[in-house]
Amino acid sequence: MSLAKAIGIGFLILLVLGLALAVINYMNQPPQPQLVTSQAAGLIYEGPPTTALAGYYCIESMNSANGYSIQLNALLSNMMEVQDVYVLPPYSSEPYYEPAVLHGDVLYFPPGTGFINAPCAWLIMSIENNYAYFGYSLDGQSITWFYKYPVGDATIEPGPSTELVLAGYGNGEQAQLGSGTLVYLALFYWNGTNWEPAPVGVFSPYSCTECFLTGESVNHAYVFTDGICSGVVSWPAPVNNTQCPGAPSFKP
């Protein structure tokens, strides 16, 4: 073998090793907060199909000039979409819970609860006996069910359309987040016997080709999750100190 060939082979080996080390180093990097714009900001559910979800939210601080909502959205196996929402409209100082069901091209938007100021609480959706139940829990121990809707023999599917997010208050509006926004989120799924911390990710609409998207959004926010149950939405500073809370003790 000539010296030139030996040098060439050695160079290729070093190049391959360098690329392999770069890939390994990239894969070992800790997750970083992601900047999202003009979309809902929060967590997508990446666990198995399930019959119930429990989404925890805690609003440490909120700066939105035109209202906001915390939405637990779920795509069902029969392509219906259901929502359990904590909402503060811009024309009110009193938030409340409300459900929504998208069935084909028809949006059912029944009345919600009375006014409830609950900056930290649980949103719960459960499917039982062919009905989707919508509820909330203020203490993680008991559920107030406030609506149900017939959905047939369906399950909640994973993917971009099943999510726990901060967004606009409704009607396709965008929440205009200002400095001092900090919201912690966490998601659990029902395994048939117990609540389990849900595998989660940060949703990117650019990777979603066939999914239903909530019509509401935020103008901008940082979203962070380590992929295990919890996340945080913030503005203007990125935050990456999340921790999954203990599982709730209520049963769906």
Q: What is the pLDDT of residues 1-10, one digit of tens each?
A: 555 555 555 5
DSSP one-letter code for 207: G
Q: How many angstroms separate the CA atoms of 248 and 50, rounded?
A: 17
**Residue 177 β-bridge partners:** 64
149 Cβ contact list (under 8 Å, min separation 6): 82, 99, 101, 108, 110, 131, 132, 134
Residue with tokens 């103008």: 219
**Residue 14: predicted pLDDT:** 45
Do 205 and 218 form a contact (C-beta atoms < 8 A)? no
Do 225 and 166 form a contact (C-beta atoms < 8 A)? no
Q: What is the pLDDT of residues 106-129, one digit of tens each?
A: 788 888 899 999 999 999 999 999
**Residue 15: predicted pLDDT:** 46
**Residue 22: predicted pLDDT:** 36
Q: Which residues of the chain have pLDDT under 70?
A: 1-29, 204-212
**Residue 111: predicted pLDDT:** 85
Do 66 and 168 form a contact (C-beta atoms < 8 A)? yes
**Residue 92: predicted pLDDT:** 87
**Residue 24: predicted pLDDT:** 39
Bond preceding residue 236 cis, omega within 30 of 0: yes
**Residue 160: predicted pLDDT:** 87
In angstroms, the Cα distances linking 38 to 142, 200, 239 are 35, 20, 19
**Residue 71: predicted pLDDT:** 97
**Residue 77: predicted pLDDT:** 96
**Residue 169 β-bridge partners:** none
